[in-house]
């Protein structure tokens, strides 16, 4: 009883002294919430109380929309999950605080990989704090179904289609897929990177080179992409990614193309990498790595400013060594900070880490690492419309995509 009273008193004191920080994010699926809770706990140890502003919706589309409304009405949250070129957009309209004003960033060149630093730098200044590195171009295999049907790992697209036919014939869903714009485009991105290679992928989806975007090779990518549709389950249309990943957990589907946040979910459900699910390269993608780096920005506030020490505590926690290990273990990503002890990480994370350090890296355009979310939204809608409309033509679609990109950029 005495202990309980003491504990309650301590909790009260913690509550009185902890300062709130309102954080907008979209980590709402299983695995994501576990990772977020680790962050919340780490902050509380620094006396910072997480004020949750979570918006459900894959890839953060709804969250970013809500953020725009809050920011335009002059009431942004203290911190938000913003990544890639969107960091530059928010910086240029003068809404963000420079990280160098908040905390000491002098060690960043030593502790963060160059590509990560470049991602959070705008006009020579760090404008966001990175937290993790997700790999997007994974193919996940359901071990039980692969064992039952004695299927090999698909390493070419020919073998992939052959295996998908066998899974379908055995009465399973071949590809777990939720069928939303964002998931359709993620599927496309993985296939496009595989078929085009890193150089052409970058020319098309980072530089938006018209010749590559409308090339016969790109038309071929779209045609191959459409072939995947028959292996998805139409009743899953409109479902979120974690609902699709659940089909792997329930042994209803054989494979899924998804970033490694799906691994975070399966692990949180008690599944084990290489025992329950297997991570492999997307066919014909050895050494190619499409990256997605999550980061947080701090908003300039007119009225109630977030105290500096709270901002500093938040920023420093994100990059602290223990937190980097604990958080990324739960999230399914790899640490953004170099030199983190990864003994507790599974084989998939080790593969991700090795490929990140030695493979060819490209920014994931479906995860907003290659363009602003505004442009990304238009692109993923065009890709998704093509995928879901049997009558849509690949040549028209590439021309339309290229035109739409030009219209937005020029
Ligand atoms: C991405 C985010 C990941 C993951 C995923 C699914 O945009 O970068 O961390 O959570 O959405 O929600």
Task: Compute mean pLDDT per 10 residues along the chain, 410 residues long, and list them.
Answer: 47 53 95 97 96 88 89 92 97 96 98 98 98 98 98 98 98 96 98 98 98 98 98 96 98 98 98 98 98 97 83 98 98 98 97 98 98 95 98 98 94
Q: Are residues 284 and 394 in the same domain?
A: yes
**How far away, in angstroms, is 59 Cα from ligand 1 center?**
5
**How far away, in angstroms, is 261 Cα from ligand 1 center?**
7
Q: Report yes or no on 76 lying in a domain.
A: yes
Domain span holding position 269:
138-290+366-409
8 Å CB contact between 333 and 132? yes
Q: How many domains does the chain have?
A: 2
Most ligand 1 atoms within 8 A of CB, residue of 23, 26, 241 to mutate = 26
Query: Rounded distance, CA 362 to CA 123, Å?
Result: 21
pLDDT at 384: 98
Q: Report yes or no on 236 lying in a domain.
A: yes
Q: Are residues 112 and 159 in the same domain?
A: no
**How far away, in angstroms, is 318 Cα from ligand 1 center?**
17
**How far away, in angstroms, is 321 Cα from ligand 1 center?**
22
| pLDDT tens string 206-226 | 999 999 999 999 999 999 999
pLDDT at 318: 98
pLDDT at 18: 57
Burial group, residue 148, by CB count within 10 angstroms (0-12, 13-18, 19+): middle
Q: Are residues 217 and 286 in the same domain?
A: yes
Q: Report yes or no on 47 lying in a domain.
A: yes
Q: Report yes or no on 8 lying in a domain.
A: no
The residue whose CA has the least distance to atom 11 of ligand 1 is 59
**How far away, in angstroms, is 174 Cα from ligand 1 center?**
24
pLDDT at 305: 77
Q: Are residues 116 and 143 in the same domain?
A: no
Ligand 1 pocket (Cβ < 6 Å) reads 26-27, 32, 58-60, 134, 261, 292, 294, 367
Ligand 1: atom nearest CA of 83 is 8
pLDDT at 15: 42
The residue whose CA has the least distance to atom 10 of ligand 1 is 27
Q: Are residues 55 and 125 in the same domain?
A: yes
pLDDT at 59: 81
Q: Report yes or no on 128 lying in a domain.
A: yes
Most ligand 1 atoms within 8 A of CB, residue of 134, 291, 327 to mutate = 134
Q: Are residues 297 and 389 in the same domain?
A: no
pLDDT at 16: 40
Query: Rounded distance, CA 77 to CA 97, Å?
Result: 13
Q: Are residues 85 and 102 in the same domain?
A: yes
Task: Please give the helix or strand (H or E) that residue 108 lies within, else none.
Answer: helix 108-111
The DSSP annotation for 171-212 comes to TSEEE-----HHHHHHHHHHHHHHHHHHHHHHHHHTS--HHH
Query: Rounded distance, CA 208 to CA 195, Å?
Result: 17
Query: Rounded distance, CA 151 to CA 320, Å?
Result: 42
Q: Are residues 183 and 41 in the same domain?
A: no
pLDDT at 57: 79
Q: Are residues 271 and 392 in the same domain?
A: yes
8 Å CB contact between 201 and 370? no
Q: Are residues 375 and 394 in the same domain?
A: yes
Q: φ, ψ for residue 324 (rounded to 5)? A: -55, -40
Ligand 1: atom nearest CA of 294 is 8
Q: Are residues 269 and 149 in the same domain?
A: yes
Ligand 1: atom nearest CA of 261 is 4
Q: Report yes or no on 108 lying in a domain.
A: yes
Residue (of 104, 143, 86, 134) closest to 274 by Cα position: 143
Q: Are residues 270 and 375 in the same domain?
A: yes
Residue (of 104, 34, 101, 56) closest to 266 by Cα position: 34
Query: Tokens 């990544």 identify what position?
Result: 83
Q: Is 58 helix (H, G, I), strand (E, B) or coil?
A: helix
Domain of residue 330, CATH code: 3.40.190.10
């Amino acid at each position: 009883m005495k202990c309980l009273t003491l504990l309650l008193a301590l909790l009260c004191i913690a509550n009185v002294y902890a300062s709130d920080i309102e954080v907008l994010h979209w980590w709402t699926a299983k695995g994501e919430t576990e990772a977020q809770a680790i962050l919340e706990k780490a902050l509380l140890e620094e006396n910072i109380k997480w004020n949750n502003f979570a918006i459900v919706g894959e890839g953060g589309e709804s969250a970013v929309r809500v953020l725009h409304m809050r920011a335009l009405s002059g009431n942004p949250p203290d911190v938000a999950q913003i990544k890639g070129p969107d960091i530059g957009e928010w910086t240029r309209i003068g809404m963000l605080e420079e990280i160098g004003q908040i905390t000491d960033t002098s060690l960043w060149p030593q502790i963060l990989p160059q590509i990560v630093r470049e991602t959070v730098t705008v006009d020579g200044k760090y404008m966001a704090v990175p937290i993790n590195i997700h790999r997007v171009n994974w193919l996940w295999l359901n071990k039980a179904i692969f064992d039952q049907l004695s299927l090999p790992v698909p390493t070419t697209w020919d073998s992939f289609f052959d295996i998908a036919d066998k899974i379908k014939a055995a009465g399973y869903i071949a590809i777990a897929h939720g069928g939303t714009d964002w998931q359709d485009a993620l599927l496309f991105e993985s296939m496009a990177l595989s078929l085009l290679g890193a150089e052409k992928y970058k020319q098309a989806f980072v530089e938006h080179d018209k010749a590559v975007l409308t090339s016969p090779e790109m038309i071929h990518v779209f045609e191959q992409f459409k072939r995947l549709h028959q292996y998805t389950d139409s009743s899953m249309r409109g479902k979120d990614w974690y609902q699709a990943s659940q089909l792997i957990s329930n042994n209803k589907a054989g494979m899924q193309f998804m970033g490694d946040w799906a691994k975070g979910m399966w692990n949180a459900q008690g599944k084990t990498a290489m025992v329950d699910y297997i991570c492999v390269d997307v066919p014909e993608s050895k050494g190619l790595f499409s990256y997605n780096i999550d980061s947080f920005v701090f908003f300039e506030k007119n009225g109630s400013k977030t105290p500096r020490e709270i901002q500093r505590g938040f920023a420093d926690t994100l990059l602290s060594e223990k937190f980097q290990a604990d958080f990324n273990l739960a999230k399914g990503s790899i640490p953004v900070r170099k030199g983190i002890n990864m003994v507790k990480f599974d084989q998939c994370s080790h593969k991700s880490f090795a490929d990140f350090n030695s493979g060819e890296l490209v920014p994931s355009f479906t995860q907003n690492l290659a363009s602003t979310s505004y442009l990304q939204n238009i692109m993923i809608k065009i890709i998704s419309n093509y995928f879901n409309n049997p009558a849509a033509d690949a040549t028209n679609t590439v021309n339309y995509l290229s035109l739409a990109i030009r219209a937005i950029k020029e």
